[in-house]
Chains A and B, each alone.
Chain A
Amino acid sequence: MPSSPTAASDSHHYPATVAPDEPVLNISELSKSYVMGEVQVDALKSVSVKFYAGELVVLLGASGSGKSTLINIIGGLDVPSSGKLFFHGREITAATEAELTAYRRRSIGFVFQFYNLISSLTALENVQLVTEIAEHPMPAKEALLLVGLGHRLDHFPAQLSGGEQQRVAIARAIAKRPELLLCDEPTGALDFQTGKLVLDVIEKVNRELGTTTLVITHNASIAGMADRVVRLRSGEIVEDRKNLERLSPSELVW
């Protein structure tokens, strides 16, 4: 592993291409505990794992296994209690608030379980929220076309179905052409058919844009569509395996 340059030496530039054997993300000994109400929760216990360019990884685990905490730390939304996280060899865990903001702005796309659309903005405006601040975004319309919502541009979230809302959220996440797409239970709030439709879109993005994609889910069936499956339990990695064959979402059954 190359010696990790400090965050300050290359404050805002992240290389877009790397040697295939170099990980996009290198996580070592990451731990996280936090207090909720009056209870202390140990969400992650010394987790180490690497993710490579273009991979579609499914992070599998029951509720409370620590997968959301992990993805939040990877996305620069949260800081670990201990351990390190390198993005293209740069230590994200040592970044300042401003550097984290820039990291999220340039490199990360988020998709949440509950879509988290801004209810006062239309589908198009929700995507524009991102294209507005990104450096080389795709046009907001194009992103919505990509997720099959070209006909719903001017609808407010309240006028869209759950699946449509999630597709807007995906369009919003990919419009900036992120290097890393992080999806937190993207089908958690959706029925089977709609869920598959959303997974289709995620798969398409990974395939067509080559975006490294992490999908968090508690649904083991979804693991079939991944290049690689990482299983978490009680804050620890208990399994890390490669799928011999990647299934298309339409072939999934749950």
Chain B
Amino acid sequence: MKPLQRKLWRELLHLKGQMLAVAAVVACGISVFVSMSSVKYSLEASRERYYSRFRFADIFVEVKRAPEFYREMVSRIPGVASVSTRIIADVTLDVPGLDEPATARLVSIPEYRTPVLNDIFLKKGRYIEPGKPEEVIVSKPFLEANHLAPGDHISAVINGRKKELLIVGMGLSPEYIYEVQPGSFFPDKRRFGVFWMSRRALESAMNMSGAFNNMSLTLAHGASEKDVIMQLDNLFRRYGSLGAYGRSEQLSDRFIVDEIKQVGIQITFLPVVFLAVAVFLLNVVLRRLVATQRDQIAVLKAMGYSNEDVGLHYLGFALIPTAVGSVAGTLLGAWLGRGLMNIYGDFYNFAELVYYFRFEDVALSVLLSFGAAVFGALGAVRKAVQLPPAEAMRPESPAIYKPGFFDRESLRNKIPVSLRIIVRNLERRRWKAAMTVLMISLAVAILVAGRFTYDSTERMVQVEFNGKHREDVTVLFNTPMPPSVAYAIASLDGVLEHEYYREESVKMSFGHRVRRQSIRGLQSSEGLQRLVDKNNRRLTLPQEGIVLTKMLADILGVRVGDRMQVDFLQGKQLHREVVVSGTIDEILGLSAYMNLGALNRLAGDGGALNAAYLRIDQAKAASLYTTFKKMPGVAGIMMLKAMKESFDELIAQSMTTSTLILTIFACVLAFAVVYNGARISLSERARELSSLRVLGMTEAEVSVILLGEQALLTILAIPVGFLIGIGLSWLLAEGLSSELYRLPLVFSAYNFFFAFMVIIIVSALSGLLVRRRLVTLDLVEVLKTRE
């Protein structure tokens, strides 16, 4: 090894604390980038693979009942590649060990196994056997949540008749990667499952022989989805179709696409913060290094080393820690990525969730890091190169201090000398002080933004599960019921309060903007269901007109007071006009609300009900559930409390993991910035501080001068970090907002307290580490050393 290289290595080793801090920051940035990029790619690739292997359809149509020969007709539509028809029905289940009825979505499959669209991935067990109508394949999440396995029996009420089903297989399908009950946002694995059953068995059970109620199709390459949907709508309108839709409106796919988008947002935001901090740290550390090695630079130049030799030598101080950070970051990123994929595996049911670790991601992030390192080192390296050799031989001229703000006559005598030293030092290098504050505040901001998603999810749970709903259960009807059903339900023993709603599918239009949407007619917004916006504010439903989710109003371009067109897709299929009487900024989904009476009048019929909200006497719950299980008109029941529990459980783990990771990252950042700041301070002022010690100041007094500067900067950084954190959270909320959900911008006091405490503790620790060096400072040695 050449002597100059040896110098580099030995001095890197000597500066190991600071260099490790730089490497750690680089490692954090690279690990986030590498893990998130690989997760994003893995999710995309797994989705693509799953879809193509199991022939996930491009377009879906739901009808009440249409003759089978339409399959042939549809397959002749230009652009259609293949068509499958199915019978799908939601029925109630009697799950062993569960009082309340669960819901099964029965999906027909061919009796003999042939490739179909939306095919099943058979995870365990076997395919159904012909001539055995009781055999079913059941979705994995439901089986696992209920501790069931192939070979077990389960009873269902199909079309009013109780049937004993035999589970023969455990399956998954690309259609239900995110498996939730229709109309719900949260998975409830115990109470909702998909059951695949022989087409013949379903035909006879549902009286659907020679007919279907669900069609899915794939498009030929280059075909227009829009044109095919238009033709399908013309064909199936009379069969009760609410309109065909593409993958982008398929619920499960929408969740996954949203998730992938979210990961994409994180890829851009966190690594940029880390790179910025790495640039800053390298800049500060190297500038100090060059300043302390002025005489060495002079000697090297005096000996005949060229500017390039000297420049490259100092660049090495930036490149080596970056290389160490890159290797560590890549390994950490691979590990984190795998861990994250496992968490995604709990949320999403992929046939196989393959983790792809890509070389491109590593290469790109390493390249960016080295770019940042060179950028950070540039100032110092340039200084080393430009330092005239003779100039370097002279000691640096004393730093120029000027009277600052605190030196005013009125203030001067009130401030102790130690504080004056601190303040003057900061005032003299305002730019560096401001940058240090900014870097520490970024750590604070990461903590605030990290916990923001937690607070925001809490708010969502609070609004959706508590604020909006007071009912215990929602009873969903198979088909629209006449208003008289209310009497039957009210008469059930154990029902304390009851309320109903009607759900009508319509096509809304305003100007050229059109949207398929359902309108929910509520009896009242003051009873069991309420209207609550994302800021937890309640809204009273007006007697007339329609209230739209703010995002829906924006999509349609309507404002309060506008009249918009409504085409009912069922019943009398009237074309009507309705006044927008309000908007509400809700967290989940897109909704339209009307007073039930007003909706009935608009639809032009005597009224219909789709579901009941009930508050029930818990002592009589079991017998009520038994009654519901037997009622043919009941498609299923939804229990918000149960959903909340399963959601909490699901979210808790991922939230804890991501908060932990972000906290660790923020600690690394804060530690790196404060530790480096204090170390540099020590190196700049060792002589000065030793002189003060020689003059009789105690160790503690000298520590105050040294660490006071970092402490003051940290204190200043905290409020700045809060503001940046709030801004960052707002950007995140905006970036993540979609038709599925909008994150409410909420911050708990605990969020700020947590960020405050973490930063204070980390700063104190890094300060103490540097203070240890101060204690071991050899006073005589330092004074002997020439500056």
Q: How far is the CB of B780 from chain A (nearest CB, A)?
A: 14
Contact of A77 among B7, B14, B305, B390 (CB under 8 A): B390
- Is A98 in the interface zone, CB < 8 Å from B? yes
Nearest-CB residue, chain A, relative to B781: A158
Given A36-B397, A77-B301, A104-B303, verify A116-B4 contact (CB < 8 Å).
Answer: no
Stretch at the interface among A122-130, A144-152, A214-222: A122-130
Residues of A close to B391: CB separation below 8 A: 78
Given A78-B389, A120-B11, verify A128-B3 contact (CB < 8 Å).
Answer: yes
Contact of B388 among A77, A105, A116 (CB under 8 A): A77
- Is A87 in the interface zone, CB < 8 Å from B? no
The reply to whether A120 and B388 form a contact with Cβ atoms under 8 Å apart is no
Would you call the interface of chain B mostly helix, strand, loop, or mixed? Answer: helix
Residues of B close to A172: CB separation below 8 A: 303
- Is A33 in the interface zone, CB < 8 Å from B? no
- Is A106 in the interface zone, CB < 8 Å from B? yes
Given A97-B307, A110-B302, verify A121-B397 contact (CB < 8 Å).
Answer: no
The reply to whether B307 and A132 form a contact with Cβ atoms under 8 Å apart is no
Q: How far is the CB of A69 from chain B (nearest CB, A)?
A: 8
Stretch at the interface among B255-263, B292-300, B535-543, B667-675: B292-300
The reply to whether A78 and B388 form a contact with Cβ atoms under 8 Å apart is yes
A37–B399 Cα distance when bound, in Å, is 8
A106–B304 Cα distance when bound, in Å, is 7
Within 8 A of A (CB), among B321-350: none
A132–B2 Cα distance when bound, in Å, is 7
Q: How many residues of B contact A (CB 8 A)?
A: 31
Contact with A along B773-785 (1 / 0, CB 8 A): 0000000000000
Contact of A101 among B4, B304, B388 (CB under 8 A): B304
Given A101-B304, A104-B301, A133-B305, verify A121-B393 contact (CB < 8 Å).
Answer: no
Nearest-CB residue, chain A, relative to B399: A37
Nearest-CB residue, chain B, relative to A38: B400
The reply to whether A120 and B14 form a contact with Cβ atoms under 8 Å apart is yes
The reply to whether A126 and B3 form a contact with Cβ atoms under 8 Å apart is yes
Within 8 A of A (CB), among B179-209: none
Contact of A98 among B11, B295, B302, B306 (CB under 8 A): B306
The reply to whether B390 and A72 form a contact with Cβ atoms under 8 Å apart is yes
Chain A residues touching B, range: 35 or more
The reply to whether B304 and A132 form a contact with Cβ atoms under 8 Å apart is no
The reply to whether A121 and B305 form a contact with Cβ atoms under 8 Å apart is no
- Is A114 in the interface zone, CB < 8 Å from B? yes
Given A77-B298, A77-B302, A102-B304, verify A125-B3 contact (CB < 8 Å).
Answer: yes
The reply to whether B299 and A116 form a contact with Cβ atoms under 8 Å apart is yes
Nearest-CB residue, chain B, relative to A173: B303
The reply to whether A104 and B3 form a contact with Cβ atoms under 8 Å apart is no
A254–B2 Cα distance when bound, in Å, is 42
- Is B408 in the interface zone, CB < 8 Å from A? no
Contact with A along B1-30 (1 / 0, CB 8 A): 011101100110010000000000000000
Within 8 A of B (CB), among A92-116: 97-98, 101-106, 108, 110, 112, 114, 116
Residues of B close to A38: CB separation below 8 A: 400
The reply to whether A118 and B296 form a contact with Cβ atoms under 8 Å apart is yes
Nearest-CB residue, chain B, relative to A126: B3
- Is B398 in the interface zone, CB < 8 Å from A? yes
Nearest-CB residue, chain B, relative to A109: B303
Given A78-B388, A132-B2, verify A110-B786 contact (CB < 8 Å).
Answer: no
Contact with B along A207-249 (1 / 0, CB 8 A): 0000000000000000000000000000000000000000000
Q: How far is the CB of B775 from chain A (nearest CB, A)?
A: 20
Q: How far is the CB of A139 from chain B (nearest CB, A)?
A: 14
Within 8 A of A (CB), among B389-411: 389-391, 393-394, 397-398, 400
A101–B389 Cα distance when bound, in Å, is 10
Nearest-CB residue, chain B, relative to A116: B299
The reply to whether B10 and A120 form a contact with Cβ atoms under 8 Å apart is yes
Nearest-CB residue, chain A, relative to B11: A120
Contact with A along B650-662 (1 / 0, CB 8 A): 0000000000000
A200–B397 Cα distance when bound, in Å, is 35
Q: How far is the CB of B190 from chain A (nearest CB, A)?
A: 66
Contact of B389 among A69, A77, A129 (CB under 8 A): A77
Q: How far is the CB of A152 from chain B (nearest CB, A)?
A: 17
The reply to whether A101 and B306 form a contact with Cβ atoms under 8 Å apart is yes
Given A105-B304, A120-B10, A133-B303, verify A37-B389 contact (CB < 8 Å).
Answer: no
Nearest-CB residue, chain B, relative to A73: B390
Contact of A110 among B10, B296, B299, B397 (CB under 8 A): B299
A72–B389 Cα distance when bound, in Å, is 8
Residues of B close to A112: CB separation below 8 A: 299, 393
Nearest-CB residue, chain B, relative to A98: B306
The reply to whether B4 and A129 form a contact with Cβ atoms under 8 Å apart is yes
Residues of A close to B4: CB separation below 8 A: 129, 132
A101–B305 Cα distance when bound, in Å, is 7
Within 8 A of B (CB), among A155-169: none
A36–B395 Cα distance when bound, in Å, is 10
Contact of A129 among B303, B388, B390 (CB under 8 A): B303
Within 8 A of B (CB), among A66-90: 68-69, 72-73, 75-79
Contact of B7 among A97, A103, A108, A121 (CB under 8 A): A121
Residues of B close to A130: CB separation below 8 A: 303-304
A128–B3 Cα distance when bound, in Å, is 6
Contact of B299 among A76, A79, A118 (CB under 8 A): A118
The reply to whether B6 and A120 form a contact with Cβ atoms under 8 Å apart is yes
Residues of A close to B309: CB separation below 8 A: 133
Contact with A along B279-323 (1 / 0, CB 8 A): 000000000000000011011111111110100000000000000
Q: How far is the CB of A56 from chain B (nearest CB, A)?
A: 20
Residues of B close to A75: CB separation below 8 A: 302
The reply to whether B14 and A116 form a contact with Cβ atoms under 8 Å apart is no
A77-B302, A77-B393 known; 13 other A-B pairs, CB under 8 Å?
A36-B394, A37-B400, A73-B390, A77-B301, A78-B391, A79-B388, A102-B304, A110-B299, A114-B786, A129-B3, A129-B303, A133-B305, A176-B303
A→B interface (CB under 8 Å): 36-38, 68-69, 72-73, 75-79, 97-98, 101-106, 108, 110, 112, 114, 116, 118, 120-121, 125-126, 128-130, 132-134, 172, 176
User: What are 9 A-B interface contacts by the 8 Å CB criterion?
Assistant: A37-B400, A38-B400, A69-B390, A72-B389, A76-B389, A77-B302, A97-B307, A101-B306, A176-B303
For the complex of A and B, 9 pairs with smallest distance between CB atoms: A105-B304, A78-B390, A77-B389, A120-B10, A72-B390, A77-B390, A37-B397, A104-B304, A129-B3
